[in-house]
């Protein structure tokens, strides 16, 4: 299906915009030169930037009230990968896909890997799912999975995580992300210490099955689906457990999984300092785990997070290689458009963070010049780097304007009959 988005169509669309881009790029290059920044160096770094697409983000999301599917939704992981290939063809910064099991379970994982290879895609971290019951499952996760009071339920959840690792090995993944919905809705329902002991006991068994060249990403979340307490509730519990488990275990930061007003960039700095930063699930939010498109609400926060990440690279922090992934729910927009746009917004924060004058910032910090330190960050944040992003995409074979180019293909209409709508409209993952 990627032939609908052909190279010649991208070239035709780019031809209409190329002159204007060249002018804007030259103008920005001149502005940056005055600040001692070589635009080509930044553009090369932008081209090397990558963020993984969540396979589950290619279908329309939903709330617990309703789901409004878009036309020609992918019906299985093979079609999801085809959409991911379209995203990368146009956006050129999303060469890998993070799969979710058992949603993406197939009979032949070699065939799936080959399908991805043919589309020019690789697999990022595999995600296990013990927050839902599957048809025919022996034990229920109603009262938790890795921390369930029932040993049989815990063993079932451990076994699922281990099968995810095995499938991931065939796919070429290098990490397992573990997020559980375990928690409680009533004070007193769960013994806080015992439930975390059970969680740790289970995760130790998973950790033992993690191959030597793999990592285990632990994802916390303050609330939902449990609304009084969750077993893996915040970055503190997360990093404590990651430290308990060992060096292959690290803490994953999903931007929507924190208490309101938490200083996420500071959490990121702490995790970097103690070499426990696994990576990110990028999304944006206003109220809770809203899973809105990256860069749609709080762009300064996203920039400040990248400021910490670029600072870590600038200081040549050892073992620093965080995984970047999107984790969003697209309820009212076309998932392909949202994922392209969000990937570019994450890339935008990265590029802006590259513009921070780190020597000047160091000096202002040492001199306690609060205002100028803040202004140094703002000078980078306030720079419109759009021409760099567009130039990076074009030079990598992508679209100067991915959304307009995608719309010019009429992709959904073209696939409408080949991908008929599935029956019914259930609520989606929130």
Residues that bind Mn ion (CB under 5 A): 254, 281, 289, 327
Least CB distance from residue 282 to ligand RM4, whole Å? 11
Least CB distance from residue 127 to ligand RM4, whole Å? 5
Of 343, 374, 390, 291, the C-alpha closest to 64 is: 291
**Secondary structure string (H, E, C) spanning the chain:** CHHHCCHHHHHHHHHHHHHHHHHHHHHHHHHHHHCCCCHHHHHHHHHHCCCEEEHHHHCCCCCCCCCCCCCCCCCCHHHHHHHHHHHHHHHCCCCEEECECCCCCCCCHHHHHHHHHHCCCEECCEECCCCCCCCCCCCCCCCCCCCCCCHHHHHHHHHHHHHHHHHHHHHCCCEEEECCCCEECCCCCCCHHHHHHHHHHHHHHHHHCCCCCCEEEEECCCCCCCCCEECCCCHHHHHHHHHHHCCCEEEEEECCCCCCCCCHHHHHHHHHHCCCEEEEEECECCCCCCCECCCCCCHHHHHHHHHHHHHHHHCCCCCCCCEEEECCCCCCCCHHHHHHHHHHHHHHHHHHHHCCCHHHHHHHHHCCCHHHHHHHHHHHHCCCCHHHHHHHHHHCCCCCCHHHHHHHHCHHHHHCCCCCCCCCCCCCCC
**CA 389, 394, 395, 398 torsion: positive or negative?**
positive
Q: Which option in ligand RM4, Mn ion, none does residue 324 bind, with CB closer than 5 to 8 A by kind?
A: none
Least CB distance from residue 317 to ligand RM4, whole Å? 25
Residue number, 39 or 59, with CB nearest to Mn ion: 59
Q: Which option in Mn ion, ligand RM4, none does residue 113 bind, with CB closer than 5 to 8 A by kind?
A: none
Q: Which option in Mn ion, ligand RM4, none does residue 104 bind, with CB closer than 5 to 8 A by kind?
A: none
Q: Is 127 in the site for ligand RM4 (CB under 6 A)?
A: yes
Least CB distance from residue 404 to ligand RM4, whole Å? 30
Footprint of ligand RM4 on 347-406 (CB under 6 A): none
Q: Which option in ligand RM4, Mn ion, none does residue 401 bind, with CB closer than 5 to 8 A by kind?
A: none
Least CB distance from residue 152 to ligand RM4, whole Å? 24
Footprint of ligand RM4 on 211-230 (CB under 6 A): 219
Residue number, 83 or 254, with CB nearest to ligand RM4: 254
Residue number, 90 or 429, with CB nearest to ligand RM4: 429
Least CB distance from residue 286 to ligand RM4, whole Å? 16
Q: Which option in ligand RM4, Mn ion, none does residue 98 bind, with CB closer than 5 to 8 A by kind?
A: none
Least CB distance from residue 354 to ligand RM4, whole Å? 28
Least CB distance from residue 375 to Mn ion, whole Å? 34
Q: Is 281 in the site for ligand RM4 (CB under 6 A)?
A: yes
Q: x/- contact string, 166-185, with ligand RM4 (CB under 6 A)?
A: -------------x------
Q: Which of 25, 49, 56, 381 binds ligand RM4 (CB under 6 A)?
A: 56
Question: Rounded to whole angstroms, how far apart are CA atoms 304 and 294?
Answer: 14
Helix 386-395 with 335-354: angle, nearest 10 deg: 110
Least CB distance from residue 224 to Mn ion, whole Å? 8
Q: Is 327 in the site for ligand RM4 (CB under 6 A)?
A: yes
Q: Which of 271, 353, 390, 429 binds ligand RM4 (CB under 6 A)?
A: 429
Q: Which option in ligand RM4, Mn ion, none does residue 13 bind, with CB closer than 5 to 8 A by kind?
A: none
Q: Which of 82, 104, 182, 254 binds ligand RM4 (CB under 6 A)?
A: 254
Residue number, 160 or 281, with CB nearest to Mn ion: 281
**Which residue's Cβ lies closest to ligand RM4?**
179
| Residues binding ligand RM4 (CB under 6 A) | 56, 100, 127, 179, 219, 254, 281, 327, 429
């Amino acid at each position: 299906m990627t032939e609908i988005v052909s190279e010649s169509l991208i070239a035709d669309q780019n031809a209409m915009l190329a002159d204007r881009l060249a002018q804007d790029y030259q103008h920005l290059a001149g502005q940056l030169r005055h600040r001692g920044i070589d635009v080509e160096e930044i553009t090369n770094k932008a081209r090397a930037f990558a963020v993984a697409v969540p396979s589950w983000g290619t279908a329309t999301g939903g709330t617990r009230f309703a789901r409004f599917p878009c036309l020609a939704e992918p019906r299985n992981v093979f079609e999801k990968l085809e959409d991911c290939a379209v995203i990368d063809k146009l956006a050129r910064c999303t060469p890998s896909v993070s799969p979710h099991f058992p949603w993406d379970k197939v009979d032949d994982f070699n065939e799936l890997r080959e399908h991805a290879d043919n589309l020019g895609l690789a697999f990022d971290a595999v995600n296990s799912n013990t927050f839902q019951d599957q048809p025919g499952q022996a034990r229920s996760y109603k009262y938790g999975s890795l921390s369930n009071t029932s040993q049989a339920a815990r063993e079932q959840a451990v076994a699922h995580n281990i099968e995810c690792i095995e499938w991931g090995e065939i796919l070429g993944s290098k990490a397992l992300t573990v997020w559980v919905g375990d928690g409680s809705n009533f004070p007193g329902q769960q013994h806080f210490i015992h439930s975390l002991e059970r969680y740790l006991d289970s995760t130790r068994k998973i950790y033992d099955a993690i191959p030597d060249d793999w990592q285990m990403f632990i994802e916390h979340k303050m609330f939902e689906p449990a609304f009084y307490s969750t077993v893996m509730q915040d970055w503190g519990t997360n990093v404590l457990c990651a430290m308990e488990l060992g060096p292959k275990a690290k803490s994953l930061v999903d931007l929507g999984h924190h208490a309101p007003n938490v200083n996420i960039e500071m959490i990121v700095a702490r995790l970097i300092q103690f070499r426990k930063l696994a990576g990110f699930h990028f999304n944006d939010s206003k109220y809770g785990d809203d899973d809105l498109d990256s860069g749609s609400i709080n762009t300064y926060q996203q920039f400040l997070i990248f400021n910490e990440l670029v600072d870590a690279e600038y200081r040549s922090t050892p073992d620093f290689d965080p995984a970047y992934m999107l984790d969003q729910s697209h309820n009212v927009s076309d998932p392909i458009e949202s994922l392209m746009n969000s990937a570019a917004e994450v890339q935008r924060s990265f590029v802006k963070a590259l513009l921070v004058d780190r020597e000047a910032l160091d000096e202002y910090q040492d001199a306690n010049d609060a205002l100028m330190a803040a202004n140094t960050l703002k000078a980078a944040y306030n720079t419109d780097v759009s021409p760099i992003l567009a130039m990076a995409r074009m030079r990598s074979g992508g679209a100067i304007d991915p959304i307009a180019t995608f719309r010019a293909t009429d992709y959904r209409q073209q696939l409408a009959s080949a991908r008929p709508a599935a029956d019914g409209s259930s609520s989606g993952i929130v």
